[in-house]
Structures are given as C-alpha cells and as structure tokens.
C-alpha cells in the first residue's frame, strides 16, 4: 500500500467520524498519539513502536483528509532532497 492508497483507506474508514469530530478535535487525537509514540520510544518496545508509528500516521492522514490535503502531492516538497539547501544529504546547519 502506498501513501495515496493509505490516505484513501483512511478516508473511506474514518472521514465521516473525523468530520463530526472536526479539525481541532482530530488534531487533539493526533497529539495524543504522538504522546503515545513518545512513551513507546522511551520503553524501546519494538512492537508497540511499530503500532504507534501506524497510529500517528493514520491520524496525520485523517487530519489531512479533513483539511483537503493530498499527502502524496504534499510530499513532493521533499522529492529533490532538503527543500532548504537542495542537497542530499542535507547540509543545513541545525540552527534555524
Ligand atoms: Zn538542508
């Protein structure tokens, strides 16, 4: 399954519920899942980690559906490497 198929699956499964919850309610769930990812990272539990990555990605893509964002199209920002320095690998300094 590629990212476009994943986004379509999330849309088919969850768009109706997501729309009822709204953008900020769905964003709150994404943040909650990011918190769970943080806990899995600290524990070093590989099975939990894989599930948390899936959950964060699912909520992120659900939020994109609500906002009318095509994630495959959005990803093209990084198609040619770092969008700032245009290098692969990135040669930007860590300072903003
Ligand atoms: Zn860079």
CATH of the domain at 49: 1.10.287.1080
In three-state secondary structure terms, 58 is helix
Q: Is residue 90 part of a domain?
A: no
Q: How would you class 88 by CB atoms within 10 Å of its CB: exposed for 0-12, middle for 13-18, buried for 19 or more? A: exposed
Q: Is residue 33 part of a domain?
A: yes
As a whole-number percent, the residues of the chain with pLDDT over 70 amount to 99
Q: Is the pLDDT of residue 22 over 90?
A: yes
pLDDT in tens, 42-56: 998 889 999 999 999
Q: The tokens of 19 are what? A: 């729309």
- Cα(84) to ligand 1 centroid in Å equals 5
Q: Is the pLDDT of residue 95 over 90?
A: no
Q: The tokens of 62 are what? A: 């659900």
Reported pTM: 0.91
Q: Which residues surround ligand 1, an ion (CB under 5 A)?
A: 82, 84-85, 90, 92
- Cα(1) to ligand 1 centroid in Å equals 29
Q: Is residue 68 part of a domain?
A: yes
Q: Containing domain of residue 66, as a range?
A: 3-78
Whose tokens are 């559906």? That residue is 65
**Is the separation of the CB atoms in 18 and 69 below 8 Å?**
no
- Cα(86) to ligand 1 centroid in Å equals 6
Number of domains comprising the chain: 1
């Amino acid at each position: 399954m590629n990212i476009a198929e994943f986004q379509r699956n999330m849309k088919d499964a969850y768009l109706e519920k997501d729309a009822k919850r709204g953008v900020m309610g769905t964003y709150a769930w994404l943040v909650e899942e990011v918190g769970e990812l943080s806990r899995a990272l600290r524990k070093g539990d590989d099975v939990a980690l894989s599930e948390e990555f899936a959950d964060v990605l699912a909520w992120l893509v659900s939020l994109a559906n609500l906002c009318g964002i095509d994630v495959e199209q959005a990803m093209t920002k990084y198609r040619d490497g770092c969008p700032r320095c245009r290098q692969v690998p990135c040669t930007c300094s860590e300072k903003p």
